[in-house]
Amino acid sequence: MRITKTFFETRLVATGEVGFVPTMGFLHEGHLALIEAARAANETVIMSLFVNPLQFDRDGDLARYPRDLERDVELAAAAGADVVFAPELEEMYPGEQFTRVNVNRLSDEMEGPNRPGHFEGVATVVAKLLAGVQPDRSYFGRKDAQQLAIVKRMAADLSFPGSIIGVPIVRESDGLALSSRNVFLSSQEREEALALNRGLMAAADAAEQGVRRTSELVGAVHGEIGTESNLSVEYVTLASQDLVEPLDELDRPAFLALAAWSGKTRLIDNVHLDEANGGFVADRGGRLETTSVLYGPGGPGGGRG
């Protein structure tokens, strides 16, 4: 496996069709699933590791963001990456970044209002990566449903030749969607947080059984979270997959997404509802059979039982 530091070098070492997995590092099985998807369909698999200052909207978050290049390189290689592109800040932003990419309307709802400037930062850095790496296929997790929609639209609107592929969520063995933030949850918070997944699964069942009213699907989620819970729900929204448009009814490919605070930890999760055979089929994601690398040696939750 090669480690590259510049776009030029990265294009140079790539041969044949290129699958690309952009990440901010500190990998877990969610990222590794993206590498595996890329591995199955491309000659060269490139993973980028870059903590993008442009997309951080909360003071201090950028400085606190965990970095461990050695650990990431090892995990990426084991999962099948050919190249790890790990640019320094100077390669990505050699001067002041005057150019900004915005995907209007798709950024307006859900995560958008909560995170001013975040999606502008994401769209800008992903445009840079697509322009500089020139991949045939790029892989993003369905966990960040709105981000996936925005990146898809940006790539199409800007006529980038490669395709953008969404990959199912990877969940811990108890159903909690993988996130490096999970390690901040206390045992009690974690127990309560499982209600988010249970709620989405109940809604997924309902959608597959023919329920179409958003109010019913959202109700199914709240039914599992309950009123006694310490979870503080920010939103539960059914939105279209293409335009992130809130829907009154499940009448096109959509995702049912939520954000909630468990103590001081903000969690997001969703279930994508894809059209199939005249109805809808829910993408519930996959579950790990073992403990996540998040809790292994070198992981942020390495101290956790």
Binding site for its own copies (CB under 8 A): 7-8, 11, 92, 94-95, 97-106, 123-124, 127-132, 134, 153-154, 156-161
DSSP letter for 140, please.
Answer: E
Contact 6, 91 (CB under 8 A): yes
| Least distance to its own copies, CB of residue 33, Å | 27
The two three-digit tokens of residue 185, written as one number: 């949850």
Cβ proximity to its own copies: between 121 and 132 the closer is 132
Which residues are catalytically annotated? 31
| Least distance to its own copies, CB of residue 134, Å | 7
Contact 16, 42 (CB under 8 A): yes
| Least distance to its own copies, CB of residue 5, Å | 14
DSSP for 153-186, please give it.
HHHHHTT-SSEEEEEPPEE-TTSPBP-GGGGG--
DSSP for 30-87, please give it.
HHHHHHHHHHTT-SEEEEEE---GGG--STTHHHHS---HHHHHHHHHHHT-SEEE--
Cβ proximity to its own copies: between 92 and 203 the closer is 92
Contact 192, 262 (CB under 8 A): yes
Cα(202)–Cα(225) distance, integer angstroms? 11
In the Cβ-directed half-sphere of 237, how many Cα atoms lie within 13 Å?
Answer: 19
Cα(223)–Cα(202) distance, integer angstroms? 9
| Least distance to its own copies, CB of residue 239, Å | 15
Cβ proximity to its own copies: between 11 and 212 the closer is 11
Cβ proximity to its own copies: between 52 and 182 the closer is 52
| Least distance to its own copies, CB of residue 223, Å | 35
Contact 196, 267 (CB under 8 A): yes
| Least distance to its own copies, CB of residue 130, Å | 7
Residue 124 CB contacts under 8 Å (≥ 6 apart), including other chains? 54, 97, 99, 100, 101
Cβ proximity to its own copies: between 85 and 280 the closer is 85
Cβ proximity to its own copies: between 96 and 289 the closer is 96
Angle, vertex CA 53, rays to CA 47 and CA 55, nearest 5: 85
DSSP letter for 137, please.
Answer: E
